[in-house]
Structure 1
Amino acid sequence: MKKILVPALLAVSLLAAPVYAGNPAAAKAASTQKAADKTYKVQPQLSTLGWVGKKVTGQHDGNVQFKDGSVLVRGNQIVGGTFVVDMNTLKVTDIKDADTNGKLVGHLRSEDFFSIDKNPTSTFKITKVTPLKKADAAGNNATITGDLTIKGITQSITFPAKTGVKGGLASASGTATIDRTKFDIKYGSKSFFEGIGDKAIYDDFSLSFNVVAKQ
């Protein structure tokens, strides 16, 4: 009985051994895949977020500042991230007259638009990053999908971006097109108000970003 039991135990132990024992390359690949993601901290002072809103008779543009955030990096790829925007920093840059500028900023802060007093921050959380096989004409090398929250309403958006990781820095830049009506911002929209003619404001606005994060 003992002669049978010992070989049996030896066979079980061999079967339970790691399958990569005889394959160093496979073992290395598995180790790489299981490597923990590194977290890089967003640098608000080095990052920018600009906006452009268009209407029938023209357009306005400005910027808003990132408050904080983090970027998840695996190897030399950005794989995730969360970003917080301080809506109280919203500015209009195309209007030079102080009174007119202040009136527009006040309107954008109101319930008609971003309701900033009730919603002082907006957030974006990356849910998927898909690398492109070849960069496009604008240099974008990835497609980013994530959850954007404005006025407490969350919607999934997807946009192209240029991403990179080098020397302890992670960066992402690009432009996302947002349908404001999905966030209950309907003021001046032809989709909801008929007969407003040249007072109409287009539903889509754009956000151009350049995010820099440091390890």
Structure 2
Amino acid sequence: MKNLNLFLFAAGAALLTACGGSEEAATEPVVANYTLDAAASTLEWKGYKKGNETGEHGGVISFSKGSVETTDDVITSGALTVDMNSIKTTDQLPAPMGDTLNAHLKGGFFFDAAQFPTAEVTVGELKDGKLPTTIKVTGVEFTQDVPVSTKVEGDKLIVDGTFTFDFEGIKSQGFADQGGTRIVPQIDYKLHLELKK
């Protein structure tokens, strides 16, 4: 009986030691905060028109600021600001058509940058390669999941994505039907973000 009791005591002690060891081995999640490097980040866009007249235009628009939080190198939240006055076409258009188009895009017919100088972007937790994203533009919020890839290089977080964002319902006359031709509210984007700790 003494041997049995000694065995049970030893087994219990070993179990407690093992449990204690596993608790000590567990590591705390690593939370990091990154700030946008606006000069190194890009957002390319391409828009289309369909109907009686078809065509497309492409260009760029800039971020002015932003920050992202990660847990164990996975994005959990973030906020970015887009400078709507920076929107411009990169199409090879004869002068002065390029300047005219840029003014048109910034004007009240489309994004009304005078009244809405920024577009605010908020993101949630990255899951299965998709980032829940809400964009507030012309005073209206649009939400969808955006496919992106991320990588951490030293103190830098890099985010890349190619996707289409749907602005159906945007408050802008330019996206309404214009005599049988309509600017498609689904705009293609190519995103490259660089952020630093």
- Note whether the superposition's TM-score is higher than 0.5: yes
Q: What amino acid is aligned across from residue 164 of structure 1 in structure 2?
A: K
5 Å matches for 1:29-108? 29=26, 31-33=27-29, 35=30, 37-56=31-50, 57-108=54-105
Does the aligned pair in 2 maintain the 1:48–1:211 contact within 8 Å?
yes
5 Å matches for 1:1-215? 22-29=19-26, 31-33=27-29, 35=30, 37-56=31-50, 57-130=54-127, 132=128, 142-190=129-177, 196-197=179-180, 199-215=181-197
Q: What secondary structure is seen at the aligned counterpart in 2 of 1:181? A: coil
**Separation in 1, partners of 2:58, 2:97:** 14
Q: Cα 1:167–1:182, aligned 2, differ >3 Å: closer, same or farther?
A: same
Q: Summarize deviations over 1:24-81 as a string: whole Å, max 9, x none.
A: 333443x424x4x211111011110111001122100000111011111222222221
Q: What secondary structure is seen at the aligned counterpart in 2 of 1:182? A: coil
Q: Cα 1:76–1:188, aligned 2, differ >3 Å: closer, same or farther?
A: closer
Q: What amino acid is aligned across from residue 212 of structure 1 in structure 2?
A: E
Give the percent of matched residue pairs that are identical in Structure 1 and Structure 2: 26
Does the aligned pair in 2 maintain the 1:109–1:116 contact within 8 Å?
yes
Q: Cα 1:42–1:204, aligned 2, differ >3 Å: closer, same or farther?
A: same
State the shift of 1:189 in Å. 3.4
Q: Cα 1:186–1:176, aligned 2, differ >3 Å: closer, same or farther?
A: farther
Q: What secondary structure is seen at the aligned counterpart in 2 of 1:115? A: coil
Structure 1 residues not aligned, in runs of 5+: 1-18, 133-141
Q: Summarize deviations over 1:153-203 as a string: whole Å, max 9, x none.
A: 22212111111122111011112322233331342534xx6xx23x32222
Aligned length: 179
**Separation in 1, partners of 2:72, 2:167:** 35
Does the aligned pair in 1 maintain the 2:84–2:118 contact within 8 Å?
yes
Q: What secondary structure is seen at the aligned counterpart in 2 of 1:129? A: coil
Does the aligned pair in 1 maintain the 2:110–2:175 contact within 8 Å?
no
| Cα RMSD for the two superposed structures | 2.2
Q: What does residue 8 of structure 2 align with? A: none
Does the aligned pair in 2 maintain the 1:128–1:146 contact within 8 Å?
no
Does the aligned pair in 1 maintain the 2:133–2:146 contact within 8 Å?
no
TM-score by length of 1: 0.75
**Separation in 2, partners of 1:188, 1:46:** 31
Structure 2 residues not aligned, in runs of 5+: 1-15
State the shift of 1:152 in Å. 2.0
TM-score by length of 2: 0.81
Q: What amino acid is aligned across from residue 96 of structure 1 in structure 2?
A: L
**Separation in 2, partners of 1:175, 1:118:** 29
**Separation in 2, partners of 1:178, 1:212:** 21
